[in-house]
């Protein structure tokens, strides 16, 4: 699982899941390690799914003139 | 009444004109176009009744300009303090009319293509899963809502950094260029969408402007450009890393469909489980094969031992029975021997006594007892029966009834 200190990175997490699967595909799984990696793979998959089940997107409007950020939570569909 | 000096008067009117009036847009035909000192541009705009002098700096001119072109200028009315000449201080020019626009556009495309701004090799891949997206468009346009709607439908948990700009008309080019500057300066976003709805060639001038093209080209962040329902590619489309056919299409190109990604994730997780199971059952099979082989081996050994033992038992029984048979024979023999032995001894003793007696009668001792003697040649170890059997000097022995005499022949 992505550690608490490090921010969850979707791409890295997805890549890791793919890598574990590739490793399994290639055979040669050490039994102990294989079980650990299997568990990790499942955890990664659930993190990824969780991220994609988020509903809201944030829209930050940048005020051009002053180039500072004003954060507004807008509904993304109107 | 206040009396002005000429300079004061001109200054005052200049200030009055510049401060008192908003930016204006004036459209007309170019005439008397000329460049001075490499940085000043003068021309007149005319219609069928009037003309007005226009003045601008070379760096504000973003397009080609020739006499006879129909253009729209943006700027403020002003006055040259020295000559008192009234003019329009131009900040931006737009070409009017498809002919002029197309001509300018083709020229620009050729130039930028030569410089390599459209080169396929420099097009970058978009990030696979972007969560921070820069959006450059007008907040009033349908394009803005289209993009947000598609992003929401397809992807999740992202932040859209929206930089509102005018997508056409005065200031559009500059604002769009600034937006690119901003995103490249802050580096918050992973990909930038530049988009607007469709329009005439005139409406799309900002997207065909050299300054915008260069801003897109200079962007370190990949850019997707989408102009609504256009058959012709704008210059921005050509320079962008990807061209989308509409604003919605731009959003589609930027983010994957979460349903697909979720099913891919589910597939990966299932596949992991399946592979692990396969591996486990393969290992199990190996183990059980090995175990059954071992068992088989042990069973083989055991049966060999059993066979050997059985054989041995058989042999042993046979041996025992043999022993039993032989033993009986031997015992019988012994018994027989025992009973026969006494008789034999008596026989042997009688035989020996008889032989002693015969020997005694044959022995020369009896003859010697009667006074005879036996003479032997000691060299030849022979009993002498003839005088020729001995020579002078040889030794002889003569046996008497009692004792022997040695003599030397003379």
pTM of structure: 0.63
Q: Are B69 and B30 in contact (CB under 8 A)?
A: yes
The predicted-structure confidence for B202-244, as pLDDT tens digits, reads as follows: 888 899 999 999 999 999 999 999 988 767 788 999 999 999 9
Which is higher by pLDDT, A56 or B143? Answer: B143
CATH 2.40.50.140 fits B6-96, yes or no: yes
Min distance A25 CA to chain B CA atoms (Å): 7
Question: What is the predicted pLDDT for the residue at A78?
Answer: 37
A19 part of a folded domain: yes
Residue A63 structural domain: 10-72
- Can you tell me whether residue B263 is helix, strand or coil? helix
**Least CB–CB distance from B145: residue in A60, A64, A78:** A78
**Least CB–CB distance from A77: residue in B131, B152, B182:** B152
**Least CB–CB distance from B275: residue in A24, A62, A67:** A24
Per-state percent for chain B, helix, strand, coil, to nearest 5 = 50, 20, 30
Q: Are B204 and B227 in contact (CB under 8 A)?
A: yes
pLDDT in tens, chain B (410 residues): 889 999 999 999 999 988 888 889 999 999 999 998 888 999 999 999 999 999 999 988 888 888 888 899 999 999 999 999 999 999 998 888 877 888 888 889 999 999 999 988 889 999 999 999 999 999 988 899 999 999 988 998 889 999 999 998 888 999 999 999 999 998 889 999 999 988 888 888 899 999 999 999 999 999 999 988 767 788 999 999 999 989 999 999 999 998 899 999 999 888 888 888 888 888 788 888 888 888 888 888 888 888 888 888 888 888 888 887 777 888 888 777 777 777 777 788 888 888 887 777 777 777 788 788 888 888 777 888 888 888 888 888 888 888 888 888 88
Q: Are B127 and B190 in contact (CB under 8 A)?
A: yes
Which band of pLDDT confidence, cut at 50, 70 and 90, is reported for residue A60? confident
Mean pLDDT value across chain A: 75
Question: What is the predicted pLDDT for the residue at A6?
Answer: 62
Put simply, the answer to whether B129 touches A14 (Cβ < 8 Å) is yes
Residue B49: its H or E element:
none
Residue B370: how many other CB atoms lie within 10 Å: 8
**Least CB–CB distance from B269: residue in A31, A41, A53:** A41
- Please provide the DSSP assignment of B212-238 as one string: HHHHHHH-SS-EEEEETT-SSPPHHHH
Whether residue A68 is predicted with pLDDT greater than 60 in this model: the reply is no
Question: What is the predicted pLDDT for the residue at B383?
Answer: 84
Q: Are B18 and B50 in contact (CB under 8 A)?
A: no
Residue A2: how many other CB atoms lie within 10 Å: 15
CA gap A23, B147 in Å, rounded: 38
The predicted-structure confidence for B156-177, as pLDDT tens digits, reads as follows: 888 999 999 999 888 899 999 9
A4 part of a folded domain: no
Straight-line distance from the first to the last Cα atom of chain A, in angstroms, rounded to the nearest whole number = 36
Q: Considering only CB atoms, which chain B residues are within 8 Å of A76?
A: 148-149, 151-152, 160
Q: Are B131 and A54 in contact (CB under 8 A)?
A: no
Which among B255, B272, B278 is the top mutation candidate for probing chain A, defined by the most A β-carbons within 10 Å of its own β-carbon?
B272
Question: What is the predicted pLDDT for the residue at B327?
Answer: 78
In this prediction, the answer to ipTM > 0.85 reads: no
Angstrom CA distances, B359 to B213, B362, B364, B373, stand at 157, 5, 10, 19
**List of E strands, B233-345:** 242-244
Put simply, the answer to whether B275 touches A20 (Cβ < 8 Å) is no
The predicted-structure confidence for B6-53, as pLDDT tens digits, reads as follows: 999 999 999 998 888 888 999 999 999 999 888 899 999 999 999 999
Question: What is the predicted pLDDT for the residue at B279?
Answer: 81
**Strands ordered across the beta sheet of B404-408:** B382-383, B374-377, B395-399, B404-408
Put simply, the answer to whether A35 touches B157 (Cβ < 8 Å) is no
Question: What is the predicted pLDDT for the residue at B374?
Answer: 85
Put simply, the answer to whether A25 touches B283 (Cβ < 8 Å) is no
A5 part of a folded domain: no
Whether residue A73 is predicted with pLDDT greater than 70 in this model: the reply is no
Question: What is the predicted pLDDT for the residue at B230?
Answer: 66
Q: Are B81 and B7 in contact (CB under 8 A)?
A: yes
**Least CB–CB distance from B157: residue in A24, A51, A77:** A51
Beta pairing, strands B374-377 & B242-244 = unpaired
CA gap B94, B159 in Å, rounded: 35
Put simply, the answer to whether B276 touches A34 (Cβ < 8 Å) is yes
Put simply, the answer to whether B149 touches A76 (Cβ < 8 Å) is yes
Q: Are B142 and B197 in contact (CB under 8 A)?
A: yes
Put simply, the answer to whether A52 touches B279 (Cβ < 8 Å) is no
Q: Considering only CB atoms, which chain B residues are within 8 Å of A21?
A: 268, 271-272, 275
- Please provide the DSSP assignment of B178-191 as one string: HHHHHHHHH---SE
Question: What is the predicted pLDDT for the residue at A77?
Answer: 41
CA gap B11, B268 in Å, rounded: 76
The structure tokens listed for B9 are: 């008067």
Which among A49, A57, A69 is the top mutation candidate for probing chain B, defined by the most B β-carbons within 10 Å of its own β-carbon?
A57
Q: What is the mean pLDDT of residues A21-49?
A: 84
**Least CB–CB distance from B156: residue in A21, A51, A61:** A51
B397 phi and psi angles, rounded to 5 deg: -125, 140
Q: Is B157 exposed, middle or buried (0-12, 13-18, 19+ CB in 10 A)?
A: middle
A77 part of a folded domain: no
The structure tokens listed for B393 are: 């000097």
Question: Closest residue of A to B268, CA-based?
Answer: A21
**Strands ordered across the beta sheet of A68-72:** A68-72, A58-63, B159-164, B132-137, B191-196, B223-227, B242-244
Give Cβ neighbours of residue B209 (< 8 Å, ≥ 6 apart): B62, B63, B173, B235
Question: What is the predicted pLDDT for the residue at B382?
Answer: 82
Number of domains in chain A: 1
Please state which CATH number belongs to domain B106-256: 3.40.50.261
Question: What is the predicted pLDDT for the residue at A64?
Answer: 59
Q: Considering only CB atoms, which chain A residues are within 8 Å of B160?
A: 57-60, 76
For B402, which DSSP code?
S
CA dihedral B386, B387, B389, B390 (to 10 degrees): 150
A30 part of a folded domain: yes
A24 part of a folded domain: yes
Question: What is the predicted pLDDT for the residue at B105?
Answer: 87
Whether residue A2 is predicted with pLDDT greater than 80 in this model: the reply is no
A61 phi and psi angles, rounded to 5 deg: -95, 125
Q: Considering only CB atoms, which chain B residues are within 8 Å of A68?
A: none
Which band of pLDDT confidence, cut at 50, 70 and 90, is reported for residue A65? low
């Amino acid at each position: 699982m992505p550690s608490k200190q490090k921010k969850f990175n979707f791409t890295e997490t997805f890549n890791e899941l793919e890598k574990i699967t590739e490793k399994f595909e290639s055979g040669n799984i050490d039994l102990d390690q294989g079980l650990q990696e299997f568990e990790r793979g499942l955890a990664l998959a659930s993190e990824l799914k969780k991220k994609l089940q988020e509903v809201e997107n944030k829209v930050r409007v940048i005020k051009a003139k002053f180039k500072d950020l004003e954060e507004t939570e807008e509904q993304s569909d109107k | 009444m206040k009396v002005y000096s000429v300079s004061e008067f001109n200054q005052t009117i200049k200030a009055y004109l510049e401060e008192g009036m908003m930016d204006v847009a004036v459209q007309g035909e170019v005439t008397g176009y000329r460049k001075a000192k490499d940085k000043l541009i003068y021309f007149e705009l005319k219609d069928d009744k009037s003309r007005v002098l226009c003045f601008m700096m070379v760096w504000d001119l973003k397009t080609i300009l020739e006499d006879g072109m129909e253009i729209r200028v943006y700027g403020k009315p002003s006055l040259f303090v020295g000559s008192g000449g009234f003019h329009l201080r131009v900040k931006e020019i737009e070409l009017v009319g498809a002919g002029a626009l197309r001509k300018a556009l083709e020229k620009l495309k050729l130039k930028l293509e030569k410089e390599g701004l459209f080169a396929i090799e420099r097009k970058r891949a978009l990030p696979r899963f972007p969560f921070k997206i820069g959006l450059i468009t007008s907040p009033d346009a349908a394009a803005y809502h289209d993009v947000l709607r598609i992003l929401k439908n397809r992807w999740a948990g992202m932040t859209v950094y929206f930089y509102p700009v005018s997508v056409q008309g005065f200031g559009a080019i500059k604002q769009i260029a600034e937006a690119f500057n901003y995103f490249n300066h802050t580096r918050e976003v992973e990909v930038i969408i530049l988009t607007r709805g469709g329009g005439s060639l005139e409406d799309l001038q900002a997207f065909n402007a050299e300054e915008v093209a260069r801003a897109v080209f200079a962007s370190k962040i990949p850019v997707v450009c989408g102009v609504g329902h256009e058959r012709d590619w704008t210059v921005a489309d050509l320079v962008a890393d990807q061209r989308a056919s509409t604003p919605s299409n731009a959003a589609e190109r930027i983010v994957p469909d979460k349903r697909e990604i979720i099913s891919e994730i589910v597939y990966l997780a299932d596949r992991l489980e399946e592979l692990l199971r396969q591996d486990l059952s393969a290992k199990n099979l190996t183990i059980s094969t090995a175990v059954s082989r071992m068992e088989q081996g042990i069973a083989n050994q055991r049966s060999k031992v059993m066979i050997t033992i059985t054989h041995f038992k058989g042999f042993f029984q046979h041996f025992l029975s043999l022993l039993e048979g032989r033993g009986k024979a031997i015992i019988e023999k012994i018994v027989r021997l025992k009973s026969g032995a006494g008789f034999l001894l008596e026989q042997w003793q009688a035989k020996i006594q008889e032989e002693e007696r015969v020997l005694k009668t044959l022995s020369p001792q009896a003859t010697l007892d009667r006074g005879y003697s036996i003479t032997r040649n000691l060299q030849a170890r022979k009993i002498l029966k003839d005088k020729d059997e001995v020579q002078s000097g040889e030794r002889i022995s003569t046996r008497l009834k009692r004792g022997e005499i040695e003599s030397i022949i003379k």
